[in-house]
Structure 1
């Protein structure tokens, strides 16, 4: 005659403490991410200002970060109508060689951002 199997019972001790701790950690991690995104935006702006081609100085002074999604996303670039010529500097023309500044700034800031965010998350955990 076959034996009947009884279901195994598992009890997790401290689950309520874990849930409370996770609820505390999520806002702290979001705050850390916002702070690091703001740092990355500032770093990209500084990088672009150092490397952009300068004639009148307008492109250097008008590059700015724009934060979205409650500070969890940043866009760096030129947004003024007077800055439309920035694309010619970035991509080049027949007479002017390309001088890309936005993508290289993003690449440099992105590598630093990942390392700083990782360190900040570890610190807060």
Structure 2
């Protein structure tokens, strides 16, 4: 039995590669915006759900950004806020009231959806 060979040529592959390279900055910018929105949403979520006494934990939760705005960190950073660990994890006398992880879990689903929608829009 003779073997036959087929040759396939993809026309426009170079144009597609250039177009995709052009989209990378737009996708990066969209991802940065989505991460910023998610960071702000997590801060709002934590502020709504954290225990209130003096209001310090509500007002001092912050979002910071690293890796060119593609990574966010939400939490308390002041030395005066170390007691938040007792509220998050609980003690013998204080029941646990976790706010950071639940906020992250809620927003993670939203962030994936935002990124997916933005990629579809740009493509």
Band the TM-score falls in, shorter-chain normalisation: over 0.9
Structure 2 gap ranges (5+): none
User: CA offsets, 1:16-37, max 9 Å, x none?
Assistant: 2111101111111111111110
Partner of 2:10: 12
In structure 2, what is the equivalent of residue 37 of structure 1?
A: 35
Q: TM-score, normalising length from structure 1?
A: 0.91
TM-score for the superposition, normalised by structure 2? 0.92
Query: What is the distance in 1 between the residues matched to 2:9 and 2:17?
Result: 15
What is the distance in 1 between the residues matched to 2:13 and 2:69?
32
The CA RMSD over aligned residues, in Å, is 1.5
- Number of residue pairs aligned between Structure 1 and Structure 2: 123
Which runs of structure 2 are paired with 1:27-106 in the superposition (5 Å)? 27-106=25-104
- Matches of 2:110 and 2:10, distance apart in 1: 39
What is the Cα deviation at residue 15 of structure 1?
A: 1.8
Tell me the residue number matched to 1:124: 122
1:58-115: CA deviation from partner (whole Å, max 9, x where unpaired): 1100100110100010010000101100000000111110000000100111111111
Greater radius of gyration (CA): 1
Cα distance between partner residues in 2 of 1:78 and 1:38: 17
Unaligned runs of 5+ in 1: none
| Runs of 4+, deviation exceeding 2 Å | 5-12
